[in-house]
Structure 1
């Protein structure tokens, strides 16, 4: 099998994103030796070592890191060019997406069957996490993220907003009383959320007639996972301020009750992040479908 430079770059990117030569060969449906030959060809033409291989892992060299970050958008641009001349062909290929656990489990995954009915030849690798990810290093095509965005090497597309609610369990309210004012919160316990990138406790936000107010509340428990967040609230460990889509079933069942409804948390921004501006047709199609889903 003759491998050209374009194919070699595609194979190199797959090695980095899959984490192994064997997995890259399986994903691309080629023989394992062809993966090795592609890397050798690329290193020969670039004149540098791109990967550092050991018996247990594969690491990018500094040159490999730079090559990967520059070649990923170039490959996406090339794919977009080819796809623009083949609009009648069925969409196929792999899409790597990351999003918060709650949105994946409760909003996106239940509706994926309809996406697959429209695009049966697109495979989605969906990771759900509440931690910040490096899109290029982790080989992601897009990331759905909630809240204000910090500076980063990405392109952001606004998808809408998510309603937020402050609540507590009935057990907690029975033991500690219902806070009536923002000042009362100083005498209550919060289940706090930590920013995985900065390691700082995230402040709580409340609407008032004078505008939005941020507060850092006292609390004995800090979490970084939405499932643990809700579990802690249900266990009566403190107040919670979270996505309404995640806590709505517990509010409807009466397990949780809304706190300070006259000072609601402002809706939070929802954005889809891309590692570069050159989007493949697959990413554009998924973006349009997801945008329709979230705005429905």
Structure 2
């Protein structure tokens, strides 16, 4: 099998992102020796070692890390160029995405059957976490994020807004009472959320006649995971403030009760982040599908 430089770069990127020669071969559906040959060809033409290999793991060399960061957008541009002349070609290949757990579980995954009906040859590798990811380091094509964005080396596309709700369990309210004003919150316990990147506790926000009020509230429990967050609220450990799409099923079932409806938390921005401006057709298609989903 003759491997050209273009394919060698594609194979190299797959080795880095999958973390294994064997997994790279499986993902690309080629023989394992072809992966080794592609790397050798690339190192020969670049004149430098790109990977350090041991029996247990592979690591990028400094040159390899720079080569990876610079070659990924170039490969995306090449794919975009080819696809622009083949609009009727069936989309195929992998799409690596990261998004918050709540949006993955309640919004995206339940609707993926519809996506696969339209694009059956696309394989989605979906990581769902509430931690900030490094798109280039983790080999992600796009990342869905809620809230204000940190400064970073990415391109952000505004997708819309996410409604927020403040609530508590009936058991908590039976013991501590229903807060009637923002001043009452000082006498209550909340479940606080910590930003996994900055390690700062996120302030609570409320809409008032004077504008948005941002407050830090007392709480004995701090979490960084949405599933743990709602579990704590259901257990009566304090008030929670989160995405309405995540909390509404519990409110509808009576497991949680909305509090301070006259002072709702402002909507949060929903953004899709890309590691570079040159988007593949797969990423553009997924973006358009996600926008149509959100518009409903």
Partner of 2:89: 89
Partner of 1:25: 25
Q: Secondary structure at the match of 2:206?
A: strand
CA distance in 1, matches of 2:85, 2:70: 24
Q: Secondary structure at the match of 1:181?
A: coil
CA distance in 2, matches of 1:261, 1:280: 43
Q: Secondary structure at the match of 2:260?
A: coil
Q: Structure 2: 5+ residue runs without aligned partners? A: none
CA distance in 1, matches of 2:8, 2:92: 20
CA distance in 1, matches of 2:113, 2:79: 26
Is 1:70 matched up with 2:70?
A: yes
Partner of 1:265: 265
Superposition deviation, residue 85 in structure 1: 1.1
Superposition deviation, residue 197 in structure 1: 0.5
Structure 1 residue runs of 4+, over 6 Å off?
Answer: none
Aligned 1:1-296 pairs, distance under 5 A = 1-296=1-296
Superposition deviation, residue 66 in structure 1: 1.0
Q: Secondary structure at the match of 2:242?
A: strand
Q: Secondary structure at the match of 2:213?
A: strand
CA distance in 2, matches of 1:45, 1:219: 58
CA distance in 2, matches of 1:43, 1:187: 64
Q: Secondary structure at the match of 2:87?
A: coil
Q: Secondary structure at the match of 2:131?
A: coil
Superposition deviation, residue 93 in structure 1: 1.1
CA distance in 2, matches of 1:186, 1:49: 59
User: TM-score with structure 1 length normalisation?
Assistant: 0.99
Q: What's the C-alpha RMSD, in Å, of the aligned pairs?
A: 0.8
